[in-house]
Structure 1
Amino acid sequence: MTFDPYAVMAGDPWSAGNPDGYIDLGTAENRLVFDLLEPKLTAPRRVTAEDTWYQDRAGSLSLRVELARFLTGLQKSEVDPADLVVLAGAGPALEILAFALCDPGDGIVVPAPYFAGVDFAFSARAGAEIVPAWPELSLELTADSVERAIVEADRPVRAVALVSPNNPLGQTYDETTLRAVGEVTARHGLHLIADEIYAGSVYSGDFVSTTRLVSSVLPADRLHVVWGFAKDFGLSGFRVGVLQTRNPEIRAIAERLGRLANPSSDTQAVLRDLLADTEWTEAFLAESRIRLATAYRRTTEALDAAGIPYLPATAGLFLYLDLRGFLPEPTFEAERTLATRIFTEARLHLAPGAAFHTPLPGYYRLCFATDPAAVSTAIARLSARL
C-alpha cells in the first residue's frame, strides 16, 4: 500500500489545541486571506435566472469581460474576452493544450524544476511526454538549456511550457530571460505555454508576463497563457481557471473539451461579481502581497536563526530549502530518507525536490502562506532534528 502523508496528517493535524500534531507545509494554498474574502463570499447577493442556466461553452460572457479587464491589469497588455475560455481549474487548461498541440508521445519541453502537477496535466490522458530542460550549473532558467532539450529530444517536440513565476522556486523571470526563451521557441516553430497562476502573488519586484513577447518575438497564435483563482485569490477549492489564447483552432478545441470541465454557473457568477468590484479587488491583492511578504520575512528570519539554508524567493506561497548539507550522501534515496525522517520525527510534511524534477538532491519546498505559529513551530522542530 502506498504511504499517504495527507491521510496521516488528517488524523492528527496541528492546531493551537493540538501542538504536537502534524504540520503540513507541503500544500501550496494561500491561507492568509480568508478574513478578507469572507465578507464578500458570505454577503447576501442577487441571483438572476440567467445565473442558474447553462453558460456559453467558453464560460459566461459577463465573467469573461471581468476576467479580461482583470488580466489586462495583471499582464499590462490588452486582453480580449473573446480569447478566454473558463475551465474547472488551471490543470484542465494545461491538459486541453496538450490534447490540442500533441499526438500521444509528442514532447513538451518544461524547464526543471517545475510543479509536479504539470506531468499529470500533460501526460495522464493526453499522452504528451515531458522533456525536461535541465539547468547547467544552478537551478536558473536559461534559453540554452531549453534549446538543448529541444535539439536532443528523442521525440517530436510541439511546445515549450513555463511555470512563471516558478513553482517550486518562488522566483520570477525577467524580460531578458523570457525573451531569450521565446526566441528559441519561435526559431524552432513551437508553441509557448505559460502557466502564470502566481502572477498576482509577486511580493518583491515586478511580474513580467509572457504576453509581452507577442509580435516582437512570438506570433500571437503560438502563445497560450493559463491563470486561475486558486493561488492569487486563495480559492483553490473553487476550481476555476482560464485559458487565454488568440489561436482560433486552440480556442475551439478548448470550448469543445471544456464541456467536460465547466465550473458551475453559480461559481462563475460569484467570481464575476468579485472581479467587478475593482476597488475591492485591487485592495485585496495589495493586502495579500503585503501578507505574503510578511510571511516570507518571518519565515526566512526563523530559518536564518536556525541556520537552515534556502534559496531567496520573490513570488508565490513557498521557498526552496537547501538541505544538501544534511544528506549523508548526495542521492535522491538520501533525500527521500530525510523527508521520511522529517515527517516521522518532526511530524512535518515538506515536499522533496525529486517531486519537482530538481536535478540535484537535497531541496525541499516549504509553503509559508499559512498560520505563522505553525510555520515557526515547524522550523523549530526541523532545526532540532537536522
Structure 2
Amino acid sequence: MPELAAHVRDVPVNQIREITEAAWRTPGALVLSIGEPGFPVPRHVLEAAMACLDRDETSYTPNAGLPALREAFAARFRERAGTSRGSIGADRVYVVDGAQQGLHFAMSLLLSPGDEILVPNPGYPTFAMTARLLNAVPVGYPLYPDHGFQPRPADIEALVTDRTRVLVLNSPSNPLGAVLGEDLTRELMDLARRHDLWVISDECYEAFTYDVPHVSPARFDGDAPGDARVFTSLTLSKTYGLTGLRIGALICPPGIKQKMDNVMEAIVSCVASPSQYAALAALTGPQDYVQHAHGHYLANRDAAAAVLDAKGIPYLKAQGAFYLWADVSHATGGDVRGWVRRFLADSGVALAPGTAFGSIGEGWVRVALCGRQEDLVEGLGRLPGRTGQG
C-alpha cells in the first residue's frame, strides 16, 4: 500500500483524546480530562434546529452562512470585544463548522509550506497539529510558571524569523485559564505590526472570565483593508454547550470575502443549515444558559481550588475558561503522560497531561471544571498530596 504523506505521518497523537478514550473504556471512571459542558441545551435552540428540518430547509446556504446568523455573530462580537459599533459588520463574519474548522480555515488562508507560525507553549494541541497538516512549521513561544503563564513579548520577538507569518493568541486560555490583560494585548498587537504578522485570536471561551474582563486583540486592530491583521475564532460549543452541532464563526479582516468563499468551497462548502438556525436561536434568544454555566464553572473553580489547597498542590488560579492547571510534579517522576495513565488505572480518575499542550506542561495536569461538582471534588480528592498533606 502506498505511504501516507510525510506531514500526516508526523502529526502526533492528541494526548487529551488518548487519556479520555481510555477513561471511557474504564467502568465508573471520573472523566476530568475533557471540556464537555454538562447542561441540557436550551429547548428553544433545539426547536430552531428541528423547525429547520420540518421545513425541509436542507439545501446549501451561502458559503459564509445565513445572513441573519452572520449579523447575530457580528452584534455579539461588537458587544463582547468592545469594538466600535460600525467597525465589524456581518460582511466580516464567516460561519464555520466549529472553531477547529475555523482555525484550519484561517491557517489555510495565511500559511504556505515552510512558513512558521508562533503558537503558545503550553497551548491547545491543534494549533500545532493543524499547522503541520498544512506543511507549515509551528514554533512554540514559552509561557513560564514564574510569569503566571503569561506571554512575554520579548520571548516571542526573539523567535521571529523571515519565515514567520502568523502569531496565535488564546485568551481565555485552554489549558491554562489565563486571560490576557489590556496592556499586554496591546503590546502583542504592536509586536505583530512591527513584524507584519497575521494574528489568529482563539476566543472560544470569551463568555467565561472571572473577576477580569475579556480583551479581544481586535480592539487594537485596524479597520481598513491593508491595515487589519486579526482573524478571531469563535464557537458556540462552549458558550451554549453545542459541541456536537459544530458551529462557530471566524471574524475576518475586510476585503477578502471572495478568497474566503473560494477556500470554504474547497473545504466544506457551507455549514449544515439546522446547526445555523440553532446558533441563531442561541445568540438571539434568552441567555439563561450562559449565566447559569458561568456561575457553575466559577463555583467549581473555587471548590477545586479548596481541594488542591488542602493537599498542598500548587495551581494557576483560573481567570477564564473552565479549566484548572495544577502542578503534580511531586508525583509524576518527570513523565506526566505516563503518570495520568497509571493514575486512571489506580484511582479511576482521568486528567489531561500537561505535555498534551507542550513541553512546558511537563509535571502539570489540566482539570476540566465543567461537570458535576461532586465528581470534581471526589476526583481531585484522590490526588496524592505533597508530603504531609492530603
Is TM-score (shorter-chain normalized) higher than 0.5?
Answer: yes
Matched position secondary structure for 1:170: coil
Match of 2:3 in 1: none
3-state secondary structure, aligned to 1:57:
coil
Q: Does 1:193 align with 2:200?
A: yes
Instruction: Choose the corresponding residue for 1:102, options 88, 103, 111.
Output: 111
- Residue 307 of structure 2 is matched in structure 1 by 302
Match of 1:150 in 2: 160
1:269 and 2:277 matched: yes
3-state SS in 2 of match to 1:243: strand
2:159 paired with 1:176 = no
Q: Is 1:344 aligned with 2:345? A: yes
Question: Secondary structure of the equivalent of 1:171?
Answer: coil
1:167·1:316 contact (CA, 8 Å) conserved in 2?
yes
CA contact (8 A) 1:227 1:241 kept: yes
Amino acid paired to 2:275? T
SS at match of 2:228: helix
Match of 2:356 in 1: 355
Contact 1:26 1:351 in 2 (8 A): yes
Which amino acid in structure 1 is aligned with residue 33 of structure 2? G
**1:175, CA displacement in angstroms?**
0.9
Identity among equivalent positions (%) equals 23
For residues 215 and 263 of structure 1, the distance between their equivalents in structure 2, rounded to whole angstroms, comes to 29
Per the alignment, residue 83 of structure 1 pairs with: 92
Shift of 1:257: 2.6
- SS for the counterpart of 2:158 is helix
Partner of 2:25: 11
Q: Return the alpha-carbon distance in structure 2 between the equivalents of residues 233 and 378 of structure 1.
A: 25
Match 2:69 to one of 43, 63, 66: 63
Q: Which residue is 1:256 aligned to?
A: 262
CA deviations 1:20-56 (Å, max 9, x no partner) are: x21111101222x32xx33224447644858433111
Give SS of 1:185's match: helix
Q: CA deviation at 1:287?
A: 2.4
User: For residues 179 and 219 of structure 1, do their structure 2 counterparts lie closer, same or farther at Cα, with a shift above 3 Å needed?
Assistant: farther
User: Unpaired segments of 5 or more residues in structure 1?
Assistant: 14-20
- Could you tell me which residue of structure 2 aligns to residue 205 of structure 1? 212
RMSD: 2.5
CA pair 50-253 structure 1, distance change in 2 beyond 3 A = farther
Matched, 1:121 2:130: yes
Post-superposition Cα deviations, 1:187-206, rounded to whole Å, max 9, x if no partner, equal 01111110111111113311
CA distance in 1, matches of 2:197, 2:243: 31
Structure 2 residue 42 is matched with structure 1 residue 38 = yes
SS of the residue 1:344 aligns to: helix
Equivalent-residue separation in structure 2 for 1:43 and 1:85 (angstroms): 24
- Note closer, same or farther for the CA distance 1:122–1:206 as it changes in structure 2 (3 Å cut): same
Q: Aligned pairs, how many?
A: 363
Amino acid in the other structure paired with 2:347: A
CA contact (8 A) 2:96 2:271 kept: yes
- Give the counterpart letter for 1:290 in structure 2: G
Q: Distance in 2 between matches of 1:62 and 1:55?
A: 12
Equivalent residue, structure 2, for 1:315: 320
Contact 1:30 1:317 in 2 (8 A): no
Structure 1 residues 256, 302: CA separation in 2 closer, same or farther (over 3 Å shift)?
same
The CA deviation at 1:162 is 0.7
Write the letter of the residue equivalent to 1:322.
D
Q: Is the 8 A contact 1:168 1:318 kept in 2?
A: yes
Corresponding residue SS for 2:384:
helix
CA contact (8 A) 2:19 2:351 kept: no
SS of alignment partner, residue 207 of structure 2: helix
* Counterpart for residue 18 of structure 1: none
The answer to whether structure 1 residue 74 and structure 2 residue 83 are counterparts is: no
In 1, the alpha carbon distance for the partners of 2:64 and 2:56 equals: 16
In the alignment, the residues of structure 2 paired with residue 7 and residue 148 of structure 1 have an alpha-carbon distance, to the nearest angstrom, of 38
One-letter identity of the residue aligned with 2:76: F
Residues of 2 paired with 1:85 and 1:341: CA distance? 43
Q: Is the 8 A contact 1:171 1:314 kept in 2?
A: yes
Q: Secondary structure at the match of 1:133?
A: strand
> 4+ residue runs of structure 1 moved beyond 3 angstroms?
2-8, 41-51, 135-138, 383-386
Q: Deviation per CA, 1:96-133, whole angstroms, max 9, x where unpaired?
A: 22221111121011132110121222222x22211111
In the alignment, residue 236 of structure 1 is paired with which amino acid?
Answer: T
Amino acid of the structure 1 residue aligned with 2:319: T
SS at match of 1:115: coil
- One-letter amino acid of the counterpart of residue 304, structure 1: D
Conserved 8 A contact 2:19-2:341: no
Q: Please tell me whether residue 112 in structure 1 is matched to residue 121 in structure 2.
A: yes
Give the counterpart letter for 1:213 in structure 2. F
Does the 8 Å CA contact 2:174/2:321 hold for their aligned counterparts? Answer: yes
Name whichever of 312-321 and 127-136 sits farther off: 127-136
Report if aligned partners of 1:220, 1:247 keep a CA contact under 8 Å in 2.
Answer: no
Compute the TM-score of the two structures, normalised by the length of structure 2. 0.86
Equivalent position of 1:16 in the other structure: none
- Name whichever structure is richer in helix by fraction: 1
Alpha-carbon distance, 1:221 to partner? 2.5
User: What residue identity is the alignment partner of 1:90?
Assistant: A
